[in-house]
Amino acid sequence: MMSRMHRVPRLAAATMKSLVVMVLVAASVTRQAGAQAAVQQATDLETRLAQRLDAETHASVMKVVDSARVQQLPVEPIVSKALLGATFRQPSAVITQSVNVVFQRLVASRDALAPTPTPGDIRAGAEAIALGVPSKTIRDLRSTFPDRSMVVPLAVLGELVANKVPVDRAVGMVRELMRRGASENQLVAFSEKVRDDISKGTSPSEAIATRIQGLIAILPTAPAVNVDAANVNGAGFQNADGRKKP
């Protein structure tokens, strides 16, 4: 098992070097925030859309993009949705409708994550809303952690809900893990393990109840007493045989 670890990087040594350069370049490029860069991005965006959409669809998508810009919402989700539709040869009316829906989700996300969400937060919130997470839930999570990035927590929350974990339980888990100091990567790993369990036939409730025990055990702010499932949070957490703990 150990030898696998360095075999692949060795075989891809040349690519790794160019990738370092690429990531470093990407990192430095993203720091450009000048007006000139903004204008250039606007042109590129129009070009990207124009190359793949017919004139009519392009015009209606650009209207939504302009509205988003006016409201200082991130426009990439709108562009991405339109081009996804183009790739899958969706009718113009369907693409137009879907970008409008994306716009509404972005607005709802921004409001739920007030007062100062980052573009990444807003994008993540919009995706979570699309996956079935209520705006109110996002708002509550934000109020618990007003200063933390919501990008990964919302992505994880969205995935849990998409995997049929009840919303209250899913947000209870995420909140508790964040409160106990789980890193973003630990949150991601947690959601992947839960998803794997579910894909193998475990019920969503059982999967998260089990996996959260594993993560809680190693987080720094573990309580002095034995961690019991029911103590994790009061939001309707059940023990293994399905009874609600008082």
Partner 1 sequence: MQRSTGLGPHEESILEPPLTAVPIVTARSNATADSALVNRAKLGDIEAFTAIVERYHPRAVRFARGLLRNQQDSEDVVQEAFLRVYRALPRYEERQRFDAWLFRILGNCCRSANATQYRREVVDVDDEVALERVAAPETTDGRFELEFGDEVRRALAEVPDYNREIFLLHHIEGFSYEEIEKMTGVRQSALKMRVKRASDFLRAKLAGVYRG
Partner 2 sequence: MAEPHDELLNRAINELRTLPPLDQGAVSRIVDAAARSRDAGAAEDLDFGEPRRGRFFRLPAVIGIAVAAAIVGFVAGVQLLGARFFDPTDSRRTAVGRAVESTLVKPAALVPPNVDAALTSTQFVFKSRVAHRVTLVGDFNDWDATATPMTRESGGALWWVNIPLSAGRHVYAFMVDDTLMLTDPDAPETKDPDFGVKGSVVIVGKP
Q: Does 137 bind partner 2 (CB under 8 A)?
A: no
Distance in angstroms (rounded) separating the CA atoms of residues 160 and 170:
6
Q: Does 109 bind partner 2 (CB under 8 A)?
A: no
Q: Does 31 bind partner 1 (CB under 8 A)?
A: no
Q: Which parts of 18-57 interact with partner 2 (CB under 8 A)?
A: 19-20, 22-24, 26-28, 30-31, 33, 48, 52
- Tokens of residue 156, six digits: 């994880």
Which residue is it, tokens 């947690």? 190
With respect to partner 1, which residue has the nearer C-beta, 17 or 164?
Answer: 17
User: Using CB distances below 5 to 8 A depending on partner kind, what does residue 88 bind out of partner 2, partner 1, none?
Assistant: partner 2
With respect to partner 1, which residue has the nearer C-beta, 132 or 181?
Answer: 181
- Tokens of residue 20, six digits: 């370092």
Q: Which parts of 170-229 interact with partner 1 (CB under 8 A)?
A: 181, 183, 219-220
Q: Among residues 16, 21, 20, 22, which one has the least CA distance to residue 7?
A: 16
Question: Which residues lie closer than 8 Å to 237 by C-beta, 6 or more apart?
Answer: 169, 172, 209, 229, 230, 244, 245
Query: Do residues 172 and 235 make contact, with C-beta atoms less than 8 angstroms apart?
Result: yes
- The stretch among 60-68, 106-114, 119-127, 229-237 that binds partner 2 (CB under 8 A) is 119-127
Question: Which residues lie closer than 8 Å to 26 by C-beta, 6 or more apart?
Answer: none
With respect to partner 1, which residue has the nearer C-beta, 183 or 239?
Answer: 183
User: Using CB distances below 5 to 8 A depending on partner kind, what does residue 79 bind out of partner 1, partner 2, none?
Assistant: partner 2
Q: Among residues 26, 9, 101, 86, which one has the least CA distance to residue 51?
A: 86
In whole angstroms, the minimum distance from the beta carbon of 9 to partner 2 comes to: 5
Whether residue 166 has a cis bond before it, omega within 30° of 0: no
Of the residues 60, 65, 68, 81, which one makes contact with partner 2 according to CB under 8 A: 81
Of the residues 63, 69, 139, 193, which one makes contact with partner 2 according to CB under 8 A: 193
| Residue 240 DSSP class | T
